[in-house]
């Protein structure tokens, strides 16, 4: 963490001179269960990981926002016309800086809120494009900084919704609230049980170390984008199915009602959402009352989740399937693809004393399949966003 903060502050000094008013951090996340359920008013169970984005930020007297990125080495500057309240009249900022501009825009549309200019330097160790929500980490770090610097009063829920609105409407990525919630609200040693309809968030015990387990993230290096393509198609499938079934969302459909859909593809999409909600709810209840104390029994639900995402929701890819199969055959308690799909990462729940061996097994399987060599990360349940005074 100290190195990340130093990099953000050094970037600020190079780009703008002097020192920032402060540094704000926000983590990436993994999702144990509950994939493609958040935008269907369903359940999910993410937690923050120990990889963070740091934003070194100061207020500016100029009505512009200057954003420097360690990843690209460039500084992007935009003014009020790029974040006009009426997006039809705006000229949105493209590329990575759109997430920052989206936060400025989303905040500025709130009643009574004024967001002044800022100088922002970004450094991050959240892997990009790997399904660990680097975009939400960037959004929450910048949002936290601007809210603090301009004394904007927002509840935790309003911060989450403001960040999601930035990604949905400004960036154009049709994601739900899972990523921003996990980045903002996570606490060490716990996962978050999220009910996306009621917006009730409950921490549930998730002490992997005590259970003698580790959660490995396996980055396949197959890159994806939520802003375009099949992710948006899946969300449209769910919305179309809900309309045909005359329900507010797929959260309201049971195991019998979806069979009335004449479209076989839509039946598969709905079946995934129904079964994924059931898996997540059952696991969360068991964690809350202590009956999953050793956590190993989550493995079967994780593997069932992958099979559903692969066959019914069709968001996996050969590289992810190879990782999951190798992990299961190698003795993992469970494994599944994670995130929006079509690339990114898988997670595997393994005995801590076999973690290195498991990574070797997966790497060998990828090599035999002539797929890119994966990169491995350890996903420890970590703290959410915070201001760090340096």
The tokens describing 247, both together, are: 């329900």
SS3 state of residue 253: coil
What's the pLDDT at 227? 46
**Dihedral in degrees, nearest 10, Cα atoms 113, 117, 121, 124:** 20
Whether 389 is a known active-site residue: answer no
Beta strands in 60-197 (DSSP E): 65-69, 75-78, 118-124, 190-195
Half-sphere exposure of 147 (CA within 13 A, CB side): 23
Q: Which residue has the tokens 């500057």?
A: 77
Tens of pLDDT along 275-298? 999 999 999 999 988 777 778 889
What is the per-residue burial (b if ≥16 Cβ within 10 Å, else e) of 94-106?
Answer: eebbbbbbbbbbb
Question: How many CB atoms are located within 10 Å of the residue 287 CB?
Answer: 23
Residues 6+ apart with CB under 8 A from 36: 234, 238, 272, 273, 276, 309, 313, 315, 340, 341
Q: Which residue out of 38, 41, 179, 195 is catalytically annotated?
A: 179
Question: How many CB atoms are located within 10 Å of the residue 135 CB?
Answer: 28
Helices (H) and strands (E) in the chain, counts: 10, 12
What's the pLDDT at 1? 83
Q: Which residues pair with 29 in a beta bridge?
A: 48
Give, as one character, the DSSP assignment of residue 374: P
Residues 6+ apart with CB under 8 A from 153: none
Half-sphere exposure of 28 (CA within 13 A, CB side): 25
Q: Are strands 65-69 and 118-124 parallel, antiparallel or unpaired?
A: parallel
What backbone torsions phi and psi does residue 84 show, to the nearest 5 degrees? -60, 140
What's the pLDDT at 228? 53
Residues 6+ apart with CB under 8 A from 210: none
What's the pLDDT at 225? 57
226-231 contacts at long range (C-beta below 8 A, 24 or more positions apart) = 226/135, 226/173, 226/174, 226/175, 226/340, 227/171, 227/172, 227/173, 229/342, 230/315, 230/341, 230/342, 231/173, 231/174, 231/315, 231/340, 231/341, 231/342
Sheet containing strand 345-351, edge to edge, reads 334-338, 345-351, 213-219, 375-378
Is residue 192 within 8 Å of 47, Cβ to Cβ?
yes
What is the spatial distance between Cα 156 and Cα 56, in angstroms, rounded to a whole number?
21
- State in words which class domain 207-378 has: alpha beta
Query: Of all helices (H) and strands (E), which one includes residue 55?
Result: strand 43-59
Q: Which residue has the tokens 């969360």?
A: 284
Per-domain residue ranges of the chain: 2-202+383-388, 207-378
DSSP string, 76-101: EEE-GGGG-SSGGG--PPPGGGHHHH
- State in words which class domain 2-202+383-388 has: alpha beta
Is residue 32 within 8 Å of 191, Cβ to Cβ?
yes
Residues in the chain: 390
Residues of the chain falling short of pLDDT 50: 227
């Amino acid at each position: 963490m100290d190195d990340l903060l130093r990099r953000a502050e050094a970037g600020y000094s190079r780009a703008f001179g002097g020192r920032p008013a402060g540094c704000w951090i926000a983590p990436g996340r993994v999702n144990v269960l509950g994939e493609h359920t958040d935008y269907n008013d369903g359940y999910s169970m993410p937690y923050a990981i120990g990889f963070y984005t740091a934003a070194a930020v100061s207020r500016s007297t100029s009505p512009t926002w200057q954003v420097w990125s360690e990843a690209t080495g460039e500084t992007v500057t935009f003014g009020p016309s790029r974040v006009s309240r009426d997006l039809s009249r705006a000229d949105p900022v493209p590329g990575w800086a759109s997430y920052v501009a989206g936060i400025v825009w989303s905040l500025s549309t709130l009643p009574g809120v004024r967001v002044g200019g800022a100088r922002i330097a970004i450094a991050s160790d959240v892997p990009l494009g790997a399904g660990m929500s680097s975009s939400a980490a960037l959004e929450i770090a910048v949002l936290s900084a601007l809210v603090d610097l301009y004394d904007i009063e927002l509840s935790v829920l309003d911060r989450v919704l403001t960040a999601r609105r930035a990604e949905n409407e400004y960036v154009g990525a049709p994601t739900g609230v899972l990523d921003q919630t996990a980045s903002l609200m996570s606490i060490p040693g716990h996962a978050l049980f999220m009910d996306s309809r009621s917006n009730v968030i409950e921490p549930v015990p998730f002490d992997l170390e005590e259970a003698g387990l580790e959660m490995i993230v396996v980055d396949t290096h197959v890159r994806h984008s939520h802003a375009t393509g099949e992710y948006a198609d899946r969300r449209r499938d769910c919305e179309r199915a809900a309309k045909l079934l005359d329900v507010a969302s797929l959260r309201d459909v049971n195991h019998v009602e979806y069979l009335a859909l004449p479209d076989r593809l839509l039946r598969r999409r709905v079946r995934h959402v129904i079964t994924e909600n059931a898996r997540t709810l059952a696991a969360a209840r068991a964690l809350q009352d202590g009956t999953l104390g050793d956590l190993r029994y989550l493995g079967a639900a994780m593997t069932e989740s992958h099979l559903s995402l692969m066959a019914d929701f069709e968001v996996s890819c050969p590289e992810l399937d190879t990782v999951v199969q190798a992990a299961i055959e190698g003795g993992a308690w469970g494994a599944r693809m994670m995130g929006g799909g079509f690339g990114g990462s898988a997670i595997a729940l393994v005995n801590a004393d076999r973690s290195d061996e498991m990574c070797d097994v997966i790497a060998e399987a990828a090599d035999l399949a002539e797929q890119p060599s994966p990169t491995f990360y350890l996903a420890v349940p970590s703290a959410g966003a915070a201001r760090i005074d340096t």
